[in-house]
Amino acid sequence: MNEFSILITLATVHFIALMSPGPDFALVVQNATRYGRQTGVYIALGLSFGILLHAILSLTGVSYLVHQQPTLFALVQIAGGSYLLYLGFGALKGTWQTLSSKNVVSEQQSSPDLLLSNKRQAFSRGFATNILNPKALVFFISLMSTLVPASMSLTGKGIALVILWSLSLAWFSFLAWALSTERLQAKLKSLAVYIDGLCGLIFTIIGVSILWQSVMSLS
């Protein structure tokens, strides 16, 4: 298989994986529907850089070394699972407070200062959600070891990294854009609290699953 075929296969497999529901997908859906396009795009940017770092660590063998050390990998799982639980409990708590409140206060428009702060927060949350996900670490180890041979040229590996990053940014940005159009926002406004709850449930379930796996691996 020549390098062009390898890159096409890599792009196809990665794009299919991107469309699969998971923490990254849920994070974009949750925040783009509630806070709008700009926040969703900055989360997409953070997620794409997390994916880029995972790809670099996999290509250089760092991720493989982490995966081969049971204790170290369990610590990564604990950190990732705990972070997802933090996101999940936060979303579920907010959902419960909103639904149990007798007077639901409508969302206020963000001021420029808050918007600037949200850009940094959105990027950081996207990056942390992806880079702390141990399932992403395992996925990229499998992806790179299977599709990217050690004999591949540096140029080919560089193009592979650009493809993984650009596809991730394009997909999550498109998702953020699609969910924040004016017409869809009007429809989703009344459902925002339920979307928060559903995404919180997804984060919680995945977080508990990861923590359980880490406990079992150490026992």
Q: Grade residue 144 by pLDDT with cuts at 50, 70 and 90.
A: confident
Q: What is the pLDDT of residues 92-143, one digit of tens each?
A: 887 887 777 744 444 444 444 444 457 889 999 999 999 999 989 999 998 8
| Single-letter amino acid, residue 81 | G
Using alpha carbons only, what angle is made at residue 8 by residues 23 and 61, rounded to the nearest 5 degrees? Answer: 60
Q: Where are the domains of the chain?
A: 3-8+22-102+134-218
**Residue 185 near residue 38 (C-beta atoms within 8 A):** no
